[in-house]
Structure 1
Amino acid sequence: MRHPPRSVLAAVAGAVALIGSVTVPVLTASGAVPACSVEYSVTSQWDSGFQGAVKITNNTAAMSSWSLAFDFAGGQKLTQGWNAKWSQSGTTVTAASESYNGSLATGASVSAGFIASWSGSNAVPTSFKLNGTSCNTAVEPSPTPEPTDPADDGPPVLRASGNKLVDAGGATRRLLGVNRSGGEFMCVQGRGIFDGPVDDASVKAIADWKANTVRIPLNEECWLGLSTIDPAYAGANYINAVKDLVAKVKAHGMTPVVELHWTYGQYTGNSAGCSDVHASCQKPMPDMQYTPSFWASVANTFRNDRTVVFDLFNEPYPDRATSTTTQAWQCWRDGGSCPGIGYEVAGMQDLVDSVRGTGATNLILAGGIAYSNDLSQWLTYRPADPAGNLAAAWHVYNFNTCANESCWNSTLAPVAAQVPLVAGEIGENTCAHGFIDQVMKWFDDRGLSYLGWTWNTWDCSSGPSLISSYDGTPTAFGTGLRDHLRALNG
């Protein structure tokens, strides 16, 4: 959906290639506890750089400050870091504690991250010293923790069962709630991470509408911490802010849906949202440079919390670039070199593979073409999901092509008969709710899911916006959704 006026950023190039995580855990050959343990991981890598992390565990006496040293073995050069004072002299890298994390008790751990350049090879460091003491770093894979289910009063773990969403007990569930926009555009504009407050009171106000779901749009360049984004709003700072909002949503019993909204790749063709190569507007399709790495990172972040739902890409519109509908659907699923799109596209199958490659089995949503308003060939081109946990996503506004019951009956009903269907965005630009009332009735009659756009205090005709205040005061448009949710779930 469109957003308030936004700025355009300068250009940068780079290519991400998903490599997963390379971890060096700390063990001794005899099984004795070493003085210190270091886990070094490469979380994402592209053609000229990579993002890494270290986790330090102190197994000796408590310390009031710490300094970790290791040597890059492949000519890597540190460019930035967080959660430590990072520096490099020659090949030696040093990470010294900050004032807020210097205290390290016996058995305690601390983590820090960095970005560095590389060329030729990206060899993993083989030795580490903590305050001058060697840490044993024999290479051996770390066990992956088992996914955990939420507490009884938290949101359910959802899975697709036939054409329904069900919880762990097999009971049918519906996703009914709102979108919380901001994470897709504020960071790339250098204005913050979220638009408006995301404190506990503002999240509770959503729950007070009897919503059970909050969809959270994201920006891939901000999540990956690319160099054009202000570091205050990128990388670990951005990821931690998203994780914090997800935790608040869950604390109020609601399902978080993390969704990729704005992506990299220059598109200036039909219906272009901007001419910028950067993730400053809605592009027709995700890009192969960054999007698979984004989803691998997001999936790794939340794979042990199956209450979090993954929405792969906001509103694909390859149909505006290609000359035939068949080409558009092929581009949607398979990606690659798509007619009319100048960058290499990541198809929905690529993104499903990126998520599942991490071991994450979370529910995935995949929206169709024509800004997710066309699902006419979704079943024909649906991506293969080895986890069998895939649902169709659909968006509708009063100005869309498929905005009447005749179209819904002919194109949506066949999809909803076979897989779960979620209307990830519903709205209208009339500042009223007559249209979404029709949408909600059609979806209610079939036990389907829908989320209103958007929980932001914009002008209702330009957003459209559900609220005039973050305390939950509705606009005339929002009153329709609020009263309906309260009637259903009150």
Structure 2
Amino acid sequence: MVVAALVALALHSRPAPKGTATHATHKGLHVKGAQIVEGDGKPFVMRGISHPYAWYKAQSGVYADVKRLGANTLRVVLDGRVTAGEVADIIARCKANRLICVLEYHDTTGHGEQDGSVGLDEAADFWAGLRPVLQGQEDYVVVNLGNEPYGNTGAEAWTAATEAAIARLRAAGLGHLLMVDAPGWGQDWKGVMRGNAPAVFASDPRHNVAFSVHMYGVYDTAAKVTGYYDAFHRAGLPLVVGEFGWKHTDGAVDADAIMREAAARGIGYLGWSWSGNTGGVEYLDAATGFAADRLTQWGRRLFDGPDGIRATAREAEVYAAQAG
């Protein structure tokens, strides 16, 4: 999420959807029914937060800080200026702190509405160019294809654009778990991703796609939250709340329901964001000035509140296996 987007609008395993297939063997994080699982087949539920690396590259303490607070995942914001060397360093820092690393390409935010935003084809080029540093990291890295790839208009193009980008990544040799964001500034208020997720999943020859919804003002009641969760449960597809906050300029957010129902259903969630928000949405900072000992009200809710990160996160099994 970027400020322009904020202002503008701001566990039960089920069979794979009909017409899809599962692979006999997998390397790394992958989809099994409606779950994300690790290479050994054990479920992995994301619990973490986003770090705005692209804008705050010097804040290298974030990895250790969020791990100490209980997170098992860090979503790292990238843009087209980030180099392969930087991405290799980010992955290494996540691994050193025993975190699963969700790498997110941010330049797609609000495509069609936000000046300077690019399409998912450019996102595919970005990821293909990172193949040398991404290959071999399938146990540790999730590729978040493009942040909030459409605004409030043009969302009907999301399905074909997402399928084409997935095809290009697979053709480039990337077998990672892919996480795709919804249109509508990520909130999918028109139900485009919800309705077309089975087709997108089936289009991937590896059937290794998770779906990410961003929950802000559209999700102001428990009924709206559970309704969205239920749709993916019925479809037998994996869902992650890739961003959410405790309140928002575009309306109230039922963060309690988001977290409670995610915990009950084995759905991952990633709060927005660690620190550095500007333009009137500073209330979305979990830590004041990137300081882990200065958690905000939102940070205390996210990490230490009911159904929060500290209470519900489990470290990725791949790290426990290494320790053993």
Q: Does 2:68 correspond to 1:244?
A: no
Aligned to 1:152: none
SS at match of 1:172: coil
Question: Under a length normalisation based on structure 1, what TM-score does the superposition of the two structures give?
Answer: 0.52
Q: Which segments of 5 or more consecutive residues in structure 1 lack a partner in the other structure?
A: 5-147, 150-156, 187-193, 224-237, 323-327, 335-346
Amino acid at match of 2:224: C
Following superposition of structure 1 onto structure 2, how do residues 142-291 of structure 1 map, counting pairs within 5 Å?
157-183=28-54, 186=55, 194-198=56-60, 201-220=61-80, 222-223=81-82, 238-263=83-108, 267=112, 272-274=113-115, 278=116, 283=117, 286=119, 288=121, 290-291=122-123
Aligned to 1:406: 223
Q: Does 2:171 correspond to 1:357?
A: yes
The structure with the largest strand share of the pair is 1
Aligned to 1:47: none
Alignment deviations for residues 148-204 of structure 1 (CA, whole Å, 9 cap, x no partner): 97xxxxxxx311000011122221110110100131xx3xxxxxxx35411xx4321
Runs of 4+ in 1 over 6 A off after TM superposition: none
Aligned to 1:385: 204
* Preserved CA contact (<8 Å) 2:109 2:147: no
More displaced stretch, 157-166 vs 421-430: 421-430
Number of aligned residues: 280
SS at match of 2:184: helix
Following superposition of structure 1 onto structure 2, how do residues 11-410 of structure 1 map, counting pairs within 5 Å?
157-183=28-54, 186=55, 194-198=56-60, 201-220=61-80, 222-223=81-82, 238-263=83-108, 267=112, 272-274=113-115, 278=116, 283=117, 286=119, 288=121, 290-306=122-138, 307-317=140-150, 320-322=152-154, 328-329=155-156, 331-334=157-160, 347-374=161-188, 375-383=193-201, 384-397=203-216, 399=217, 401-410=218-227
Q: Distance in 1 between matches of 2:111 and 2:263?
A: 39
* Preserved CA contact (<8 Å) 1:458 1:468: no
Give the Å deviation of 1:420. 1.2
Aligned to 1:446: 265
* Preserved CA contact (<8 Å) 1:178 1:215: yes
Q: Distance in 2 between matches of 1:178 and 1:435?
A: 17
Give the Å deviation of 1:311. 0.7
Q: Which segments of 5 or more consecutive residues in structure 2 lack a partner in the other structure?
A: 5-25, 315-324
SS at match of 2:206: coil
Identity of aligned residues (%): 23
Give the Å deviation of 1:260. 1.2
RMSD of aligned Cα (Å): 2.9
Q: Distance in 2 between matches of 1:459 and 1:476?
A: 17
For 1:416, which of 233, 240, 249 is the aligned residue?
233
Give the Å deviation of 1:422. 0.8
SS at match of 1:394: strand
Q: Which has the higher contact order (CA 8 A, sep 6+)?
A: 2
Give the Å deviation of 1:430. 6.1
SS at match of 1:369: coil
For 1:480, which of 301, 306, 317 is the aligned residue?
301
The structure with the largest helix share of the pair is 2
